[in-house]
């Protein structure tokens, strides 16, 4: 099957992709990739004032607006926050979306992260990529299996630390210096979170935290860069016929191995 030139970033909540992976996704868009963002949760718990229905609608629209900054397509969340479980019905739905999109490069969250939603979204994404070609794995809705290679990468957990306080180091750092303003613009589109976090953490604290995280990643690169995003590549078995670091192939010198 020919290479698909389609990239998908998945995460638990609207704004997670923008926080941890959007610079790399923006670079892939520049490289000619059709880009998609899919959050498995709908963000319903990210509010101190809106009703359940209001915040789901608001955060869905924010997800679309943020994706539009780089010409990406946003796919709305399937379940409520904190209800993201590794279970068959949700995996059938996530697999249906992965089969519809047919991505070649998939960016997702870390298998170890401070929040169970993030870890479960990661597991669902990995399994959906694995089952994309299995005819007897029934998806909801039914979508024909696909057989393209998938190159799967995990972004860093929040604070580069796992839930047992273990340090998580990336194996590659992507230089996103040219895209840091685009990344910030995407994050700003999640205005409901800005309002909420400004009250609880101080004005624009989440934008500052995003930049600081990218500065720390940039410094980890063998040849340090101003802003970086760190990733670990998933083992290729079950996902691609050959063992290749497709992000490095596509993004060239912007990717440094640790």
- Contact residues for Zn ion (CB under 5 A)? 12-13, 16
Least distance in angstroms from the C-beta of 223 to Zn ion: 31
Minimal CB distance residue for Zn ion: 13
195: part of which helix (H) or strand (E)?
helix 191-201
For tokens 């299996």, the residue is 145
Least distance in angstroms from the C-beta of 86 to Zn ion: 16
Least distance in angstroms from the C-beta of 16 to Zn ion: 4
Least distance in angstroms from the C-beta of 243 to Zn ion: 30
For tokens 């070609």, the residue is 133
Q: Which is nearer to Zn ion, 13 or 234 (CB)?
A: 13
Q: Which is nearer to Zn ion, 13 or 59 (CB)?
A: 13
Q: Which is nearer to Zn ion, 115 or 180 (CB)?
A: 115
Q: Which is nearer to Zn ion, 23 or 157 (CB)?
A: 157
Sign of the Cα pseudo-torsion (197, 201, 203, 207, in order): negative
Residue 107, helix vs strand vs coil: strand
Least distance in angstroms from the C-beta of 97 to Zn ion: 18
Q: Which is nearer to Zn ion, 13 or 189 (CB)?
A: 13
Least distance in angstroms from the C-beta of 11 to Zn ion: 6
The answer to whether the beta carbons of residues 179 and 26 sit under 8 Å apart is yes
Which of 161, 175, 146, 113 lies closest to 240, judged by CA?
146
Q: Which is nearer to Zn ion, 40 or 255 (CB)?
A: 40
218: part of which helix (H) or strand (E)?
helix 205-220
d(CA 170, CA 151): 16
Residue 167, helix vs strand vs coil: strand
Least distance in angstroms from the C-beta of 85 to Zn ion: 15
Burial of 105 (0-12, 13-18, 19+ CB in 10 A): buried
The answer to whether the beta carbons of residues 177 and 217 sit under 8 Å apart is no
Category of 43 on φ-ψ map: left (φ > 0), alpha (ψ -120 to 50) or beta:
left
Q: Which is nearer to Zn ion, 210 or 255 (CB)?
A: 210
């Amino acid at each position: 099957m020919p290479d698909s030139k389609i990239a998908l970033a998945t995460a638990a909540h609207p704004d997670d992709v923008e926080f941890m992976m959007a610079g790399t996704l923006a670079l892939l868009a520049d490289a000619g990739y059709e880009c998609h963002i899919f959050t498995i949760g709908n963000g319903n718990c990210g509010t101190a004032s809106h009703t359940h229905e209001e915040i789901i609608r608001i955060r869905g629209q924010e997800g679309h607006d943020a994706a539009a900054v780089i010409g990406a397509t946003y796919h709305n969340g399937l379940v409520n926050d904190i209800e993201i479980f590794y279970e068959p019905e949700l995996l059938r739905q996530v697999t249906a979306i992965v089969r519809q999109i047919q991505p070649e490069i998939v960016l997702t969250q870390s298998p170890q992260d401070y929040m169970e939603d993030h870890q479960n979204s990661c597991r669902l994404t990995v399994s959906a990529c694995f089952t994309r070609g299995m005819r007897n794995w029934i998806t909801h809705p039914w979508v024909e299996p696909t057989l393209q290679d998938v190159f799967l990468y995990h972004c860093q957990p929040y604070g580069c630390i796992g839930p047992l306080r273990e340090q998580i180091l990336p194996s590659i750092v992507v230089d996103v210096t040219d895209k840091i303003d685009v990344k910030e613009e995407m994050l700003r589109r999640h205005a409901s979170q800005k309002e909420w976090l400004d009250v609880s953490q101080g004005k624009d604290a989440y934008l500052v935290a995003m930049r600081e995280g990218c500065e720390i990643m940039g410094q980890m690169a063998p040849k340090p860069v101003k802003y970086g995003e760190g990733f670990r590549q998933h083992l290729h078995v079950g996902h691609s016929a050959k063992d290749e670091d497709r992000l490095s192939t596509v993004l060239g010198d912007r990717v440094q191995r640790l």
